[in-house]
Structure 1
Amino acid sequence: MSFTKVVAANTKAFTKPLKPLFSANAQQARLRALRLYKLWYRECFDTIYRNELPFTTKELRKVLRAKFEEHSHVKDLRQIDALIFKGQLELEESQKGWKQATHICKYLEMTKMQQPKSKDFLENFYSGKLN
Structure 2
Amino acid sequence: MRELRRARYAVTALVAAVTGIAIGTGTASADVPIGRPMNGKMTYYTDQGYGACGTPIDATSQDLVAIPASWWTSPNPNNDPLCKGVSVEVSYNGRTIRVPVKDKCPSCDPSHIDLSRPAFQKLAPLDRGVINGITWKFVR
Question: How high is the TM-score relative to the length of structure 1?
Answer: 0.27
Relative to its length, the structure with more helix (as a share) is: 1
Pick 1 or 2: higher relative contact order, CA cutoff 8 A, min separation 6.
2
Pick the structure with greater CA Rg.
1
Relative to its length, the structure with more strand (as a share) is: 2
